[in-house]
């Protein structure tokens, strides 16, 4: 595992410091001189006190001298211990990372001036180091936040050291202090984070609220200051896979439609030509006095009509699927959601009433606006509502609801939910409904939902589906604006 090298400490005895060995010695000598003077003065006062007591009767003078001795003793102890107190105060400030404490290097006692100046210089050095580390941390944090994938770093106890906003949004976790907190989302995710080794990659499928994620998990382990750390990147590749899948389908459709249309068009033309020739032949026989058998004529006519009908149907079939490759680029404008829903209601209400399906719309904020192409969104909503109408046709009180609202947990997302009270979509079908050509309807083309997903992708949004056993089924259009 890689080892992080520690930043070399600055040398406080560097040339930029204003103190030399001579100045330090001078400060120490001055301290000794002051100390010796105080001791000498104290000894002198004590001798004078003894002299007064033994040679005279000046008791008041002796008392005054004794008090002066006590004061000198106190001053001497205070003088000697002052250095210890200042050093203790300085070290306590350093221990608590309090670099605001300053010592009076100027205008104070000259004996301690150099000591206080040294304390201040050490504090300034610590402040510079702390400021540099904070700047490096902010720079690193800005870089991590700028990355478009989720970044998560934690130690061997699971304590999170660093997590960027992308990871928080992806896992819908605003605060994360220990990876064990992710167990509410997925126990498998926590297990993978704990067990994944250095430079290993793995794929993981997660269901986070209503969104299914396909995550690539890549880990790097390192040792910093004797402690093992693990850095994990989380990237949701579902949208990339869906995009790649759609492009693959489009390429296949392009090839198939080209080949089929090249084959079908001549068949249709040739069928029409053959039909004309047969008609001419029949007319010629009638003119020659020969009467063809009616049964033969019926067989020929039925065969030709069948060929023409099936060829025309196949041509229509191919043209219908070519729509997947020709979705127009959205022309984005400010669209009032209220007007959008009103237009969809006007178009579908007669059909819903005819089928006795209740259609209702809910829009809490009638001033809501989207940057979108209204015609394309109408096409998506009409398709989803019709699907919902058909899905709940057999229930006693069929009902389709359309709910448009701003996501409370992410104010940058606007959602339009289309929900029906039908029996739900079978689990084995749920993963296939967005595939082109896949349909469970007898008369369905299988491109409605694929087309809707492509339109939403062009709007920078997504389409999701939730359908628990027994219903209801909810299709959600999610816009990021």
With respect to residue 404, please indicate whether it lies within any of the assigned structural domains: yes
Instruction: Convert the pLDDT of each residue in 66-123 to its tens digit.
Output: 888 888 888 777 777 777 777 777 778 777 777 777 777 665 556 667 777 777 888 8
Q: Are 263 and 361 found together in one domain?
A: no
Q: Are 113 and 224 found together in one domain?
A: no
Q: Are 338 and 408 found together in one domain?
A: yes
Instruction: Convert the pLDDT of each residue in 376-425 to its tens digit.
Output: 888 889 889 988 888 888 888 889 999 999 887 677 789 999 999 888 88
Between 15-24, 62-71, 155-164, the lowest mean confidence (pLDDT) is in: 15-24
pLDDT in the model for residue 60: 79
pLDDT in the model for residue 15: 40
Between 137-141, 165-169, 431-435, the lowest mean confidence (pLDDT) is in: 431-435
The CA distance from 213 to 170, in Å, is: 9
- Beta strand 399-406 with 358-362 is parallel
Six-digit token string for 96:
């608590």
Q: Are 284 and 365 found together in one domain?
A: no
Between 84-88, 223-227, 350-354, 444-448, the lowest mean confidence (pLDDT) is in: 444-448
Mean pLDDT of 211-230: 82
Q: Are 426 and 452 found together in one domain?
A: yes
Q: Are 295 and 362 found together in one domain?
A: no
Instruction: Convert the pLDDT of each residue in 360-370 to its tens digit.
Output: 999 988 888 99
With respect to residue 464, please indicate whether it lies within any of the assigned structural domains: yes
The CA distance from 150 to 89, in Å, is: 44
With respect to residue 83, please indicate whether it lies within any of the assigned structural domains: yes
Decide if pLDDT at 29 tops 70: no
**Length of the chain, please?**
481
Decide if 319 contacts 264 (C-beta within 8 A): no
Q: Are 266 and 337 found together in one domain?
A: no
Decide if pLDDT at 338 tops 70: yes
Decide if 467 contacts 456 (C-beta within 8 A): no
Decide if 415 contacts 479 (C-beta within 8 A): yes
Decide if pLDDT at 2 tops 60: no
Decide if pLDDT at 202 tops 90: no
pTM over 0.75: no
User: Domain count of the chain?
Assistant: 4
With respect to residue 399, please indicate whether it lies within any of the assigned structural domains: yes
With respect to residue 12, please indicate whether it lies within any of the assigned structural domains: no
The CA distance from 327 to 291, in Å, is: 55
Share of the chain above pLDDT 70, in %: 68
Share of the chain above pLDDT 90, in %: 5
Decide if pLDDT at 324 tops 60: no
Give whichever of 15-24, 69-78, 189-198 has the largest mean pLDDT.
Answer: 189-198
Q: What is the CATH number of the domain that holds 176?
A: 3.30.450.20
Q: What is the CATH number of the domain that holds 350?
A: 3.30.565.10
With respect to residue 2, please indicate whether it lies within any of the assigned structural domains: no
Domain with 434 in it: 333-480
Going by pLDDT thresholds of 50, 70 and 90, the confidence category of residue 31 is low
With respect to residue 49, please indicate whether it lies within any of the assigned structural domains: yes
Q: Are 374 and 470 found together in one domain?
A: yes
| pLDDT: which is higher, 46 or 324 | 46
Residue that finishes a domain, picked among 267, 298, 325: 325
Residue that finishes a domain, picked among 236, 267, 286: 236
Sequence-distant (6+) residues with CB within 8 A of 299 are none
CA 271 from chain center: how many Å? 59
| pLDDT: which is higher, 308 or 137 | 137
With respect to residue 157, please indicate whether it lies within any of the assigned structural domains: yes
Going by pLDDT thresholds of 50, 70 and 90, the confidence category of residue 216 is confident
Q: Are 231 and 256 found together in one domain?
A: no
Residue that finishes a domain, picked among 201, 236, 271: 236
Q: Are 224 and 253 found together in one domain?
A: no
| pLDDT: which is higher, 173 or 322 | 173
Burial readout 30-61 (b: 16 or more C-beta within 10 A, e: otherwise):
ebeeeeeebeeebeebbeebeebeeeeeeeee
Q: Are 338 and 472 found together in one domain?
A: yes
Q: Are 90 and 170 found together in one domain?
A: no
């Amino acid at each position: 595992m890689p080892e992080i090298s520690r930043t070399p400490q600055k040398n406080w005895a560097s040339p930029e410091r204003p103190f030399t060995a001579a100045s330090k010695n001078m400060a120490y000598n001055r301290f000794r001189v002051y100390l010796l003077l105080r001791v000498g003065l104290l000894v002198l006062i004590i001798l004078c006190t003894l002299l007064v007591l033994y040679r005279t009767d000046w008791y008041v003078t002796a008392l005054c001298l004794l008090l002066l001795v006590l004061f000198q003793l106190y001053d001497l102890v205070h003088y000697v211990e002052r250095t210890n107190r200042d050093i203790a105060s300085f070290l306590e400030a350093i221990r608590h990372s309090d670099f605001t404490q300053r010592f009076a290097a100027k205008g104070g006692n000259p004996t301690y001036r150099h000591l206080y100046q040294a304390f201040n210089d050490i504090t300034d050095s610590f402040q510079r180091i702390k400021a540099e580390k904070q700047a490096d941390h902010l720079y690193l944090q800005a870089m991590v936040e700028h990355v478009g994938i989720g970044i998560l770093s934690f130690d061997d106890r699971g304590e999170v050291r660093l997590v960027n906003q992308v990871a928080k949004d992806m896992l819908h976790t605003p605060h994360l202090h220990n990876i064990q907190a992710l167990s509410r989302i997925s126990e498998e995710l926590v297990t993978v984070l704990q067990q994944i080794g250095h430079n290993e990659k793995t794929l993981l499928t997660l269901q986070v609220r209503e969104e299914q994620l396909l995550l690539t998990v890549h880990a790097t382990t390192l040792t910093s200051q004797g402690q093992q750390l693990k850095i994990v990147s989380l990237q949701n590749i579902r949208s990339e896979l869906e995009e790649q899948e759609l492009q693959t389908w489009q390429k296949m459709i392009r090839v198939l439609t080209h080949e089929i249309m090249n084959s079908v068009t001549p068949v249709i033309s040739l069928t029409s030509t053959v039909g004309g020739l047969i008609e001419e032949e029949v007319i010629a026989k009638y003119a020659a006095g020969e009467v063809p058998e009616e049964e033969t004529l019926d067989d020929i006519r039925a065969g030709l009509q069948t060929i023409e009908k099936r060829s025309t149907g196949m041509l229509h079939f191919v043209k219908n699927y070519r729509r997947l490759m020709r979705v127009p680029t959205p022309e984005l404008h400010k669209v009032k959601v209220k007007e959008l829903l009103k237009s969809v209601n006007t178009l579908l209400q007669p059909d819903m009433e005819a089928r006795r399906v209740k259609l209702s719309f809910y829009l809490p904020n009638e001033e809501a606006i989207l940057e979108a192409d209204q015609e394309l969104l109408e096409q998506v909503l009409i398709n989803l509502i019709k699907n919902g109408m058909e899905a709940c046709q057999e229930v006693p009180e069929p009902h389709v609801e359309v709910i448009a609202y701003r996501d409370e947990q992410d104010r940058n997302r606007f959602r339009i939910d289309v929900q029906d009270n039908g029996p739900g979509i079978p689990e084995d079908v749920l993963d296939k409904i967005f595939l082109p050509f896949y349909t469970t309807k007898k008369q369905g083309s299988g491109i409605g939902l694929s087309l809707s997903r492509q339109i939403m992708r062009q709007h920078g949004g997504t389409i999701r589906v939730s359908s628990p056993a027994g219903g209801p089924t909810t299709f959600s259009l999610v816009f990021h604006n």
